[in-house]
Structure 1
């Protein structure tokens, strides 16, 4: 009986009434009718985060309440999953046999721009009816447009089956991720006139998948509309801000303020939500909102003594008993332990030891197998050649990394550390043991030629030392496809600088400087590297910007070393649409002039601030180069130039760059200039600007800060200080 007393004493602290969990902020309404309204949502001023205001409306007739966001009714707020259940209207069309007319009422669902997105996992687009074709036009948070259709047919009442939605009387299609707008409509050539004797109406709607089970009465009658009163539930994902957890955690308005809470990146678009740790419940968006769950009070999981702990619990057997207090068999008296139980325990221990020994042998053999495979890859990719070179050259700044080192640097190649993805591979941000940030590239494929020559080629690339080229710091060769390690360039790339929605104002002088620095890098690869190197994927996203916004050419994943005895050679066509040399695409013959063509497209991006390839244009105007050449031919060049650089003083400079771009884009490679000639031309153009250092940066600062600068003061300031101010202003604009 003594152990029963002990159990009672341990349970005394849990017999008191548990403190209520925080839902809304203090002095804020926590309910609208029967619906809980937890923070970050709120009804009253000061009771919600930006984007989470809700309206609690009272019906004057029956006194009931409705919770609304805009004009859409909110049915339930699911805080732990970051979702809201809302009411969504059903679109319909009905054939009236008496008038031989088709009546219809279609709806669209628009949450642009808000923090809400239609859950792609929990909803589907449903179409009900006979001889019905419905369309669903959708837009995501990036303004990408999708369109899908759903066809439902039936031949008679007997062809319909309850619970089956596979195109007979009912069809359904999934929803892409990130959607925040959809518009349902019906094809006018499909209607129920031929089957109106048993099915007159059709319906289309995006709705919660778990709330829909097909019934034949939805087709033969009006049950679908009447049962749901014209609306059905839809699940919407929501998120806090547009930042990832890593970025948000560094800001002052980080939303996961409760202890014992964790930040989770959203999968259905940008942003994050907060959750309480396992073993805690409540509201992670409120100070001390996540409180410990008393597992011992909630149907105790122990068959013995249960003791609650922060975030968990412990079970133990009472005195003079033994067993498993966590299992259903529970604890039993020591004196009642039978001989067969001891025998069973002995056999179990013996078997466990045998299993452990077998596992150890297996793991040892597997480790040897893995080590053999790694050694094979290391030799295949010329690892011994690199080691010999490193030993023979004192101070050779190149490292051969172990796979485990790079896994540790990237948190096992966590998707949160991805800097960018392309046709050649994925680039991750990593931090080495010496706290140095690096860019780590995992290539996707490697051809047989590269396998044989990899060691030699990487040796040559590692010795490239130019201020405008991203340095390769090392590689990992003990994997199936080698991993490359580059210096980390912190300020992103030229594509994002000139094409992002919040892109800053950039003067012509700065654009010309970035173009010249990039051209110098390519000229070095073509004319002074030994052997010469053709980049093969020149584009604005491969021109990075360092902390001083100096241009650095990157991504040699597609680069080719030019054979010393050949000016051009055959290779598999690689590159990016919009930048590819047409002559190279037709012949497969690669030359340094192919890089010149691609660089000409980059010059057009700097002049026009338009993307190299435009999917929303007619086929003959999809590429920026074709638009440029057509505009020149029609004498309408000013219509495509960026308004920020169009002024009388800059036109001579702009015309010079336009002429150079036209030469680079010549359809015949032989007639294009060498890359070193391009760099020299850009240098001459920069020198034609009056007071080049002061003038470039004066324009840039005025453009970025939106106010005139003091000319006299700027003339007394060095170029480097002006450049630094301009770059800081550009960074603030990003």
Structure 2
């Protein structure tokens, strides 16, 4: 026991002398046992090994991901695309090759809440790039490895298209198992929604519908006759026609498109498209021509006129196919019975008949009997211009007015082998339009 006073102690092993309180106190020092030291050593070693293993695992995994991305890139034609882009004078303005990480970040790792469309060929996501551009990113379901070079050629051609009624292809990502396509984003939905959704159907007037039809026809005419090489869309339908905030048309979804070799007018190909819009001749022969797009566009015209869906099992058996029942109504001279009510009321009767007859010609069973998309575009634009130029003095030129309102369908002279627009049009002094200007 310690008492007051001065003592002199010598420290022995395991003890020390504490004089902090002015009193010499002999304190015991608890030395860690050998077991504790071993436990601590093992624990520290385990942590070091774990950290190093995790670090090595991440490095190996990262290298595997890099190798996998490289393999997908090469497998999807990335080297071919880079080679072709290097030969282009202004390749950066043609197509951008996006990285996998860029598009993952743009879509918040493909968050389902960002899905803006689903179709037979894939899923479309809304994304925001690092430069704050809003884009639509299409994630395809499958890709034909035997058609990779064809796919790369399509990317190059489609990215060069600069037409105000065609959705712009900005680039692609080839580092994933299936290539991703990046398009400009069109915010206002599809024509299908405006025709068939009750909340929107009545908001789109006949004048607007006719303009949408004319713009769609012009876009398809551009793809058929101006794009080099020509492009067949193969899946023309109202859900592939987008509308911006001013209801300007944007033809989209070239997932099924095919470039047309210059020495071929027909392509033998697996039938692709959407039931209700598919060309019957194409379904029977598998011979794809630009006239297949004409047939599908004719169905879209009928949708615009009638407001009805292309296929419906709720209708009587003989009316389930919209195209077939429409032709039947026309034959029986019952056009206004099948037209959508508010369209029949607000539209010009003669103009509606002209558009209906044009749709009928587009729906002919034989492709060779159908008009070209260029002829269709010219005729629709002509009908629009007639409506816009009602100020023409009827009394001063009754013959011309009669021609404009009653004989438009048979008044176009077209040379299919000539890409320039040579058309006899009686009001050419007032109406000037050029399908080759790439608007």
Q: If the TM-score is normalised by the length of the shorter chain, which range does it land in?
A: 0.7 to 0.9
Pairing of 1:307-322 with structure 2 (within 5 A): none
Is residue 428–residue 441 contact of structure 1 (8 Å, CA) maintained in 2?
yes
CA displacement 1:350-402 (0-9 Å, x = unmatched) = 22322332232222222222212212222233323433444442364121110
The answer on 1:437 being equivalent to 2:139 is no
- What TM-score do the two structures reach when normalised by structure 1? 0.47
The answer on 1:372 being equivalent to 2:67 is yes
| Structure with the bigger percentage of strand | 1
Residue of structure 2 equivalent to 1:645: 343
2:230 is aligned, of 508, 511, 532, to: 532
SS of equivalent residue, structure 2 residue 387: coil
Between the aligned partners of 2:237 and 2:346, the Cα distance in structure 1 is: 29
Which has the higher mean CA deviation after the structures are superposed, 396-405 or 372-381? 372-381
- What TM-score do the two structures reach when normalised by structure 2? 0.78
The answer on 1:613 being equivalent to 2:311 is yes
1:562 is aligned, of 252, 257, 260, to: 260
Q: What is the CA distance between 1:617 and its match in structure 2?
A: 2.6
CA RMSD of aligned residues (A): 2.1
The answer on 1:360 being equivalent to 2:55 is yes
How many pairs align?
360
Between the aligned partners of 1:625 and 1:481, the Cα distance in structure 2 is: 35
2:101 is aligned, of 404, 422, 425, to: 404
Q: What is the CA distance between 1:421 and its match in structure 2?
A: 0.3
Pairing of 1:37-76 with structure 2 (within 5 A): none
CA displacement 1:463-513 (0-9 Å, x = unmatched) = 111111001001101111110000111111111112112113332221111
The answer on 1:587 being equivalent to 2:282 is no
Structure number with greater CO (CA < 8 Å, separation at least 6) is 2
Pairing of 1:136-175 with structure 2 (within 5 A): none
Between the aligned partners of 1:649 and 1:425, the Cα distance in structure 2 is: 38
SS of equivalent residue, structure 1 residue 470: coil
Pairing of 1:110-129 with structure 2 (within 5 A): none
Pairing of 1:689-728 with structure 2 (within 5 A): 689-691=387-389
SS of equivalent residue, structure 1 residue 513: helix
Between the aligned partners of 1:335 and 1:414, the Cα distance in structure 2 is: 59
Unaligned ranges ≥5, structure 1:
1-333, 694-734
Pairing of 1:588-603 with structure 2 (within 5 A): 588-603=286-301
Is residue 686–residue 692 contact of structure 1 (8 Å, CA) maintained in 2?
no
Between the aligned partners of 2:137 and 2:31, the Cα distance in structure 1 is: 63
Q: What is the CA distance between 1:572 and its match in structure 2?
A: 1.1
Q: What is the CA distance between 1:561 and its match in structure 2?
A: 0.7
Residue of structure 2 equivalent to 1:346: 41
CA displacement 1:590-648 (0-9 Å, x = unmatched) = 11111101000100110011111113234442221122122223332222101112138
SS of equivalent residue, structure 1 residue 362: helix
Between the aligned partners of 1:553 and 1:482, the Cα distance in structure 2 is: 21
Unaligned ranges ≥5, structure 2:
1-28, 392-439
Decide whether aligned partners of structure 1 residues 341 and 579 sit closer, same or farther in structure 2, where only a CA change above 3 A counts.
farther
Between the aligned partners of 1:508 and 1:589, the Cα distance in structure 2 is: 35
Between the aligned partners of 2:33 and 2:368, the Cα distance in structure 1 is: 95
Q: What is the CA distance between 1:439 and its match in structure 2?
A: 0.6
Decide whether aligned partners of structure 1 residues 648 and 471 sit closer, same or farther in structure 2, where only a CA change above 3 A counts.
closer
